[in-house]
Amino acid sequence: MTNATRIQLLAGLVALLAGGAGCSEDKSKNGEPDAGPSAVVINPAVRACDLLLDTGVAAVGSVVFGEGVIGRYKRDGSRLAVSFTSRTDAAPASRPTLLDASGQPLDPSTLTVNAVQCYDRLGAPVADPGLTLH
């Protein structure tokens, strides 16, 4: 992925995360979190995604991004914006995982996906990203 493509992909991230309050940087771990709701990308053309979730009454403490992606998130009441991009020119090898304030995985049944937009290696939207939340 070229630097120009990364800049273009991150422009969507900046738009989602503008405002500062509640905005958090990449919280990567070595390896993947063991459990919890996470976005799973199936389409191999995908390189980055923006998600808008409704967490209902669940309080999101953090979003953990695995080694294969870089991302950011922002909370606004029950809404949660999550954006992530692959660190390589390949579909994201890992996924963001949502944790509550105590660091425990959130129950996926409490989450609603309001919007998803994913992008290919050139920054063009992918019509069918095959993204699911587990």
Q: How many domains does the chain have?
A: 1
Residues paired with 69 in a beta bridge: 86
- pLDDT one digit per residue (tens) for the chain, 134 residues: 444 444 343 334 333 333 333 334 444 444 444 445 666 767 899 999 999 999 887 788 899 998 889 999 999 988 999 999 999 999 887 778 888 888 888 887 888 889 999 999 999 999 989 877 76
Phi then psi for residue 20, to 5 deg, are: 80, -50
Can you give the CATH number for the domain in which 83 is found?
2.60.40
Domain encompassing residue 11: 3-133
* Rounded Cα gap, residues 86 and 1, in angstroms: 9
| pTM score above 0.85 | no
* Rounded Cα gap, residues 121 and 26, in angstroms: 21
In the chain, DSSP assigns E strands to 23-24, 39-40, 48-54, 60-65, 69-76, 79-86, 96-100, 112-119, 125-126, 132-133
